[in-house]
Structure 1
Amino acid sequence: MAEVNTNNDQYNADELEAPEWLNADFIRKVLSQYENEPKLKVLDVKNSPATKKADHYASVMFRTSVDYHTEKGQFFKSLIVKAMPEQEGHKKDMLSESHIFETEIGMYAKVLPEFEKILQQAGDHTKLNANCIYYSLEPRKVLIFEDLLPLGYNLIRNRNATHEEVSCVYAKLATWHAASLKLQNEQPEFLKEFKYGLFEMPNFKNDPFVTTGMAAFLKLLDEKPEFANYRPFFEKMKNNYIQHLEAIMTEYRTNRHPDGYYVLSHGDFHLGNMMYKYNKETGAVDDCMLVDFQICNLSPITIDLIYSLYTLMGPEDRLYNWDKLYEFYFKSLLANLKKIGYKGTYPTLDGFWKQIYRHKYFDFQLVTTFLPLAWAVRTKGFGVIDLIEKEDVRHKTYRIDGYLNDLKVLLPRYEKLGYFDDLQ
């Protein structure tokens, strides 16, 4: 058995011990195939948790450090091994019947290479993802990537993303979305298999994590006189807002609008799924990289943006710069479409904002359910597993000062934008 880092406090319990199959023989087979070196010999393997508790949920991940020898010499690689959870519990129950590994494998094997081909033909050598060196569905679901950490990329922890960091990742998202629009226009069948978003995950819409947020939010409104004027609006939508949300998330597949804009969404566009590289001299952002493509699916162009408002932006941008960042993304999208020779009908800014408005129920779900949890993770006073699995723990997050301060700006904004008009 390979060594495992066992600093229990920082890591998920199911990542403290690597599975038996993640051993030197398995890694030898992976590397010898990837490098086309049949005589490759593994000299040493060390496994440790790849991420900390707040970084992810929908898999188990290990950092595998490998010393090995080929006919060309002795080498070292740091790998990220991502696998389906094997321990019994909520995580395995939610994910075991899902398509998340099939989706991510399809992204690495088929879609991302095609996106980069489109960009390179236009003279754009943007790198969209880490190199994937191995994937399998049988006998187990596994992906192995080149570790971005030794290449200078890091996650943002213990602070908010800066305006520059959000802008960087929005520019990359616009590049991604533009390539997907071109593919849909020229090869309409190419992306059709990417149809498994959040609401296609087994039991997602019935999970207490999803369904109990509105009741907790209404209880908060009862306790806070300054929010009392908004309670009737949320009371009106409490019984059907999840149905509205499902309609938005599955719109491309179930009720496509002729004036809608649809792209291959990342689907989980939050701060923990971004890695950044900085200029060593100036500290400026040199590059950013998206990771975790497990729920990429064809959906409205708004999905990644609205989601990121609550899970990527810090309070300053969320409250005061959000519209400028949205428009920065949109201008970047148009510039990328022009650069890569998109021949379809171009989105308009007016149409873009109308779609943002039409999908306001996504905002309502995020502000009542996800935003308090995002604040809880930020405070480091809550465990991610407890937040997802324990209702009493989630209820405590609605009293966090940062969340309450957000509501003082967000609720009046919704009213000013007309989000409470014509509620169903």
Structure 2
Amino acid sequence: MAFNKDEMHAPCWLNEGFFEKVLKQSENDAALTVAACKIIPGTRPGDHFASIIFRANVTYKSRGKASEVSLVIKTIPEDDGLKRDLLKDGVIFETETIMYTTVVPEMHRLFRSVGDDTELGPRLLYSSKEPKLVMVFEDLAKRNYGMKNSQLDLHEAKIAYTKLARWHAASLHLADTIPIITKLDKGIGSITNEEFDKMWDNNIGLLAKVCREWPGYEHYGDRVDNLRKGISQKTKDIYKFSESTLYNVLNHGDFHYKNMMYKTVEGKTQDILLLDYQLSIWGSPAIDIIYSLYNMCSTETRDNHRDELIKFYYDEFVASLNKFGYLGKIPPLINLHVEILKNGHLETFLASTFLPFMMVTFEEMMGDQLNQNPDEGIELFDVSDPEKMMEMMLAGFRRPIYVDAMKKYLPVFLHKGLLDL
């Protein structure tokens, strides 16, 4: 089984004393004692990026009774690298803490006030900035939620868009009374640094390279190469608040299928819960819609049901606003489509950088680049290694599933002007 290299060894401070502090708070029992804890890697390679995740099984005694609990711990890596550089100032942890402690609980209260039992995600049990940035959550696996290895079909996408529409509607309704909602501004476009800009630039270069390998598509190579001059800045501008935006909502900001957990009954997805609120940002709803179309939906879902899903999302958004008793002017569907078109360069950026990462598993991309540990039979991948990341991305760009998709999308981008800057 493959794991991220930086999650193979938990930091020394994740010990019985730490979990005793966590459980004393979450269980409201100052006399609680922890007997033992076992820590393992929390996710597979590719399931997340901007953090490290561990799962802990903790045995403890509270109010005279012995108990056991499974916890999920999110923190920052100890070693230097891309992830540590991205996380070291704590900004995105601050956003996620605000989301879990203030915004999402208010959304849940709003839902319950109108008889809606929608649940958005896991409970945050503990968070701290000192001495380390750390968050501890309930383990959704204990409630029979699991991860998926592939992007979503139409049925699953509708469940996810139902959650997103209610999230967006709640944020619009609560924006005046919970002003912090409109202050969240640290999305993907604003937190990336020079190393990330270089990685995106290199990825676009890889796409240009492989375009020249496809008969009949060679002429797209130069057009894609030219995107390197300004597509990153175009993307950053999309994530900035603008007075020209027709309407704003609180975007999840990282709405892809690996940031979700799925409850499956007899082989069919029944519910989806959302993870990772660290990039939530106030801005155009086009941010989440475009991002999810490429990073959440399968090729078949995206290509054959795009407008159907946008209308499905919009109808749920309007229904939720009406249920909440929203007194403002409800934006028409055409405004959403205008926002999606205005921000269309985000489609070009995502298709050129994120999409192969979402369409192909890490194991398929990496092949023999995974480092086998002969003693434990464990495969390791270091996501902080830029060289390996680039090798992996080139393999992804050459996978038939991605090649077939881009042969359809590049002419569409060309005809919409999305290959021009």
Q: Does TM-score exceed 0.5, indicating one fold?
A: yes
Partner residue, 2:378: none
Q: Give me the whole-angstrom Cα distance separating, in 1, the residues matched to 2:270 and 2:356.
A: 31
Matches within 5 A, 1:127-206: 127-157=119-149, 159-184=150-175, 186-187=176-177, 189-203=179-193
Partner residue, 1:42: 34
CA contact (8 A) 2:151 2:295 kept: no
Partner residue, 2:207: 217
Aligned partner of 1:350 among 330, 334, 344: 334
Q: Give me the whole-angstrom Cα distance separating, in 2, the residues matched to 1:150 and 1:392.
A: 36
| Structure 2 SS opposite 1:410 | helix
Matches within 5 A, 1:229-378: 230-231=220-221, 233-234=223-224, 237-250=227-240, 252=241, 255-257=242-244, 259-279=245-265, 282-377=266-361
Q: For the aligned residues, what is the CA RMSD?
A: 2.2
Q: Give me the whole-angstrom Cα distance separating, in 1, the residues matched to 2:35 and 2:417.
A: 63
Q: Give me the whole-angstrom Cα distance separating, in 1, the residues matched to 2:208 and 2:301.
A: 26
Q: Following TM superposition, where does structure 1 have runs of at least 4 consecutive aligned residues deviating by more than 6 angstroms?
A: none
| Structure 2 SS opposite 1:256 | coil
Partner residue, 1:402: 401
Aligned partner of 2:4 among 5, 12, 32: 12
Partner residue, 1:79: 71
Matches within 5 A, 1:23-102: 23-102=15-94
**Shift, 1:205, TM fit:** 7.5
Distance 1:317 1:295, change over 3 A: same
Distance 1:202 1:322, change over 3 A: closer
| Counterpart residue type for residue 212 of structure 1 | N
Aligned partner of 1:21 among 5, 13, 31: 13
Distance 1:13 1:76, change over 3 A: same
| Counterpart residue type for residue 275 of structure 1 | M
| Structure 2 SS opposite 1:380 | helix
1:224-272, Cα deviation, whole Å (9 max, x unpaired): 232245456545544222221111111x1xx321x52211111111111
1:349-392, Cα deviation, whole Å (9 max, x unpaired): 11111111111100110111111232343662326746972234
Q: Give me the whole-angstrom Cα distance separating, in 1, the residues matched to 2:254 and 2:23.
A: 30
Matches within 5 A, 1:378-393: 380-382=364-366, 385=382, 389-390=386-387, 391-393=390-392
**Shift, 1:206, TM fit:** 5.1
| Structure 2 SS opposite 1:51 | coil
1:39-93, Cα deviation, whole Å (9 max, x unpaired): 2121221111111112111111111111111225221111001111112222212
Larger RCO (CA under 8 A, 6+ residues apart): 2
| Counterpart residue type for residue 319 of structure 2 | A
Unpaired runs of 5+ residues, structure 1, are: 1-8
| Structure 2 SS opposite 1:329 | helix
TM-score normalised according to structure 1 size: 0.89
CA contact (8 A) 1:233 1:420 kept: no
Unpaired runs of 5+ residues, structure 2, are: 371-380
| Counterpart residue type for residue 419 of structure 1 | K
Number of aligned residue pairs? 406
